[in-house]
Structure 1
Amino acid sequence: MPDERKGHVRDPHVIVHPDDDHQLQDVFAWLTITPLERRMTQAVDEAVKYVLDGSRTGRFDLMSPDVDSDERASVGTKLQYRVLHALDLVKEPPLDTTIAGIPVELKATVHSNWMIPTEGQCEICMLVQVDSKNVRYRTFLMRTHRAWLREGKNKDGKRGIAAAALAGYALPLLDWAPMPAEPLKLLTRAQIDVVFAPRVGQMERLTALFGYLPNTVIPRSSIETVCAGNRDPLRRARQAKELVFERFGYTVLCGTWPAERVIASERGFDISGDAWVALTPSGL
């Protein structure tokens, strides 16, 4: 039985192994026939970037001391809605959504465990764990029976999942999968001081960025983070092309232009989605 919940009555039920849980298997089958890793990776990336809000704050690392613990924890909440969007699901009761006509709870965490609310006990849960330190995430599907949850609960009545139960009864959807790389994390401390130097023009700072990171795909979001709070960062990036060539001999390509996408692709770089790359002469 799940914990008591005011206004709701639940009947006792028998716990069955996941292999014999037909609803769990139906949801698992639905999820595994979708391009799950591509869609989930995009959802995780969007949730993290939403919290960092780089184009306004200049932040690019969730583990930075500039990001407080409450903001970091909010990635889980933001991720739930992005998972719904990524999988073409809708928010609907009695839980978070329905998959194959079966109610499913969505839980995401940036910590080591998920806190399951009373309404999610003994229900099917899609569990996403984001490991920002190691730039990766993983996903499980599990019926979170009350018997498989920890005895201790928080002030909201939520309980964590027992480690042994997760290992024995959760169905892995995605093992640790890499999150999209953030090239700004490749900069040294000294380089960061130059690229994010106050009272220095955007074009100068972007020229330094391309010079420090040749043959590295730089997404549009990274350009906007470097130019946080300023107008027309992409225009300034285009204007920096000549300076980058003059100072470093690198050819800057932008994914906005089909011809430049083709050149980059021929050299092994995907700059679709308005990404950029500075090619060295050897790369050309």
Structure 2
Amino acid sequence: MGEGDQVQQLNFFTENTDQELDKVITFLKGIPNFERKLGRILRKSIDEVVNGRYTGRYSIEQLDKTEKTYIGTRVQHMLQHELDLPYGEVMDALVDGIEVDIKFTIGKNWTIPLEADGHICLLISADDNKSIFQAGCLRISSEVLNSGKNRDSKRTINAEGRELITWLVSNGSLPGNALLKLDPEVIKKVYSKKSGQERINELFRSCPGIVFNGAAIESVAMQKDSSKRVRDARNIWLKPEGISIYSGKYDNDKLLEKGLSPLEKDEFMSFYDLESETN
């Protein structure tokens, strides 16, 4: 049997006889705002493992191998909690009563354990640098896996298997990590400041019009009460320089008046405010 015939046979099986897979896909697609919820889950999972408040880190690339692996564990548990999915007896979760394994990667493929053979996997990947993610479902079998195994006997999905993934989100928008988009010289300048207050001041001074979420603020401040550093930057340090800091929690009405998009509750953005300079 040629590769084309094999793919055709697998497609026939998936499309015509796998009622459990259809139920899982229908259930997940039926979750209101599924793509947006999943994007937020991924953003929060990554930020929690990066742990910028205590480490000053802001990038997955700054993590060691064990920490990178742990992102997948956080994604699994947070996804089950946020989407109200019960724990499975064999696999990670029950989706509409069906055992489903949840697999996450920041790479280009997923590693599938032996015990997932015959079960459905919810496959999720994220690229923080590009602010995108994917999520899809696949029934695992030897036909959809590469023959090579790692030291834990896990195998990756082959080209034929990729063709069989039913994508729930093919090009999702991952809430951005603005620090990853900054010029390296700007990052260097911000982190060269000694105190958390000075770093926050420099961040908003150097990056007008850029939206920073709470995790980014914590990574720069490296303090528990990072929001106080923002308030002090806004009310004491930067106001005399004609710089205004807007908060999604309090200032969306002002942003709308200026014809700008509103921010999320934990987001902040600075502007060189001409009105402040003339008053």
TM-score when scaled to structure 2? 0.86
- The alpha carbon displacement at 1:30 in A equals 0.7
* 1:53 equivalent in structure 2: 51
Report the identity percentage: 26
CA distance in 2: counterparts of 1:195 and 1:133, whole angstroms: 20
* 1:22 equivalent in structure 2: 19
CA RMSD of aligned residues (A): 2.2
Of 101, 121, 124, the match for 1:128: 124
- The alpha carbon displacement at 1:39 in A equals 1.1
Question: Does the 8 Å CA contact 1:217/1:270 hold for their aligned counterparts?
Answer: no
* 1:236 equivalent in structure 2: 229
CA distances 1:211-234 after superposition (whole Å, capped 9, x unpaired): 111122221221111111x34321
Aligned residues: 263
CA distance in 1: counterparts of 2:39 and 2:256, whole angstroms: 22
CA distance in 1: counterparts of 2:179 and 2:275, whole angstroms: 21
Q: Secondary structure at 1:150's aligned position in 2? A: coil
* 2:203 equivalent in structure 1: 209
Question: Does the 8 Å CA contact 2:218/2:224 hold for their aligned counterparts?
Answer: no
Work out whether 1:268 is the aligned partner of 2:260: yes
Do the aligned partners of residues 232 and 99 (structure 1) sit closer, same or farther apart at CA in structure 2, a change above 3 Å counting? closer
Runs of 4+ in 1 over 6 A off after TM superposition: none
Aligned runs of 1:89-168 on 2, under 5 Å?
A: 89-167=85-163
TM-score when scaled to structure 1? 0.85
CA distances 1:1-27 after superposition (whole Å, capped 9, x unpaired): xxxxxxxxxxxxx96522111111111
* 1:176 equivalent in structure 2: 171
Counterpart of 1:59, as a letter, is R
CA distances 1:78-109 after superposition (whole Å, capped 9, x unpaired): 21112212321122212111111111111111
* Unmatched tracts of structure 2, length 5 or more: 1-8
Question: Does the 8 Å CA contact 1:110/1:131 hold for their aligned counterparts?
Answer: yes
Q: Answer 1 or 2: which has greater helix percent.
A: 2
Q: Secondary structure at 2:156's aligned position in 1? A: strand
CA distance in 2: counterparts of 1:180 and 1:225, whole angstroms: 16
Question: Does the 8 Å CA contact 2:128/2:177 hold for their aligned counterparts?
Answer: no
Aligned runs of 1:69-84 on 2, under 5 Å?
A: 69-84=65-80
